[in-house]
Amino acid sequence: MKNMNSLRLDDTIVAISTPIGEGGIGIVRLSGKDSLKIADKIFASKDNKKPSKFRTYTVHYGHIVEKVHKIVDEVILTVMRAPRSYTKEDVVEINCHSGIVPLKKILDLVLMSGARLAEPGEFTKRAFLNNRIDIMQAEAVIDIIRAKTDLSLRAAMNSLQGLFSKKVHDIRGEMLDTLARIEASIDFSEEADVEKKGTITILARLCRIEKDMEKLISKAREGKVLRQGIRLVICGSPNVGKSSLMNAILKESRAIVTHMPGTTRDTIEETANIQGIPVVLVDTAGIRASGHPAEKEGVKRSLSSVQTADLVLLVLDHNRKLHRNDLEIIDSIKGKDDIIIVVNKKDLKRNIDLRYAKKVFPESPVIYTCATDLSGIDKVEDAIKKLIFKGRVPAADMASVSNERQLSALRNSLADIKEAVGAIKNKVSMDCVAIYLRSSIGTVGEMTGHTITGEALDRIFSEFCIGK
């Protein structure tokens, strides 16, 4: 349950909501019951009209002043009256010139006029506490800020608009209704046939809830991929074209490329947007036996990177037969599930025999590329996306679990539902089934915010920046 008493909601908060530094515009944001009164003290419009007299959703030109009309900055002031604002409180936003001095000066004036400095994420926290959004929508705000691709932004926006919340609220509503039926069957049912029919109905509803929750959990990986991306390691023997392949995918010359083997002696990391998916590309040192200390360390790091990778591009040379290094690399990554075999230098004569590689990785796609003219690179990108989403295309209305907190709550809640289903099947009393269902409802309530603690709220909003 929201603990309103532990949070200060009767005062007015202020923060700089844009990055501090040189730029075109800076924004100082106020929220609370005294926002307009404070704006009256420091804002001077051309017609001498006070912000407290401005209509909601209006924008006004003027100056921020101190003492006897000493001008601090030329600004645009926006008024958004409660309840139609981000926080459902009176909100004033001051658009001034960006820069450390004007922003800090205006912030100081607002603080001296009666506001206090906002805590991290406090504007969004107030939006939650004032029931404008639920806690899952609040967490979606973080995902929007951190979005790395259009696809991840779309998924976060879907969550902010309540698509994922609706699914969870619908499940919780079904739980509450089922609990009411259980309690009614305990209190009022005396006839055996009525009780039997009621039990069948309750079991069917619990099985449907179980299925819906499993569906949400199954899509958690897709959501995590869109938010955090994946780690893709490019590995292979020296001089097979790993660095050229990385540059081709990045569409820029990030890794040094020469005809000499062993050019890369350390792992190189860069983030790429591959068809809407944020992918951390890791170019590794060519894996081979070496007596050189630097190259030995590079090979060691390469092998370590491969083991922690979400996806591996095994690069082989089209113009060369598999030799000992290639075979050792193939054997070292046998246990990895997601492997794409890239046969590079397809513009040269074919001398490679892929039978051993295909035997070890029978399910892995084989793609022929020429990194110098970019042929086959689009097929590599298609294969990456297909492997990540297991052949499914993310839906336009995709919205999923946003973080480990939500996923953990879903899993714990599902565990209680499974216990409830098992109890009915084993003909345990309905009192016991009700206990499991109440526990499950309470856990889902942690996701939605119905039963969340002040400590949990503080932990969630501590991830926000000040001013959001």
Per-residue model confidence as pLDDT tens digits over 85-107: 999 999 999 999 998 999 999 99
pLDDT at 275 over 50: yes
Quick: pLDDT tens for 405-432. 889 999 999 999 999 999 999 988 889 9
Domains of the chain: 4-133 (3.30.1360.120), 141-219+400-448 (1.20.120.430), 229-388 (3.40.50.300)
Token output for 258: 């020469």
- Which ranges constitute the DSSP H helices of 366-429? 377-388, 404-425
Q: What pLDDT is stored for residue 289 in this prediction?
A: 45
The answer to whether 194 and 175 have CB atoms below 8 angstroms apart is: no
Distance, in Å, from the CA atom of 96 to the CA atom of 106, rounded to the nearest integer, reads 9
If one counts every other C-beta atom within 10 angstroms of the C-beta of residue 326, the result is: 23
Omega before residue 83 within 30° of 0, cis: yes
Structure-block tokens of residue 64: 């921020």
pLDDT at position 437 is: 95
CA distance 159 to 408: 18
**Rounded to two decimals, what is the model's pTM?**
0.74
pLDDT at 63 over 80: yes
- Give Rg (Cα) of the chain: 29
The answer to whether the beta carbons of residues 254 and 247 sit under 8 Å apart is: yes
Look up tokens 């009176």; give the residue: 90
Nearest to 148 by CA among 254, 280, 249: 280
User: What is the distance, to the nearest Å, from the Cα of residue 377 to the centroid of all Cα atoms in its chain?
Assistant: 27
The pLDDT tens digits of the residues spanning 278-305 come to: 888 888 765 444 444 444 555 555 566 6
Tokens of 166: 């609706």
**From CA 112, how far away is CA 251, in angstroms rounded?**
52
**What pLDDT does 452 receive?**
82
| Helix/strand/coil for 376 | coil
- 184 burial (CB, 10 Å; 0-12 / 13-18 / 19+) is exposed
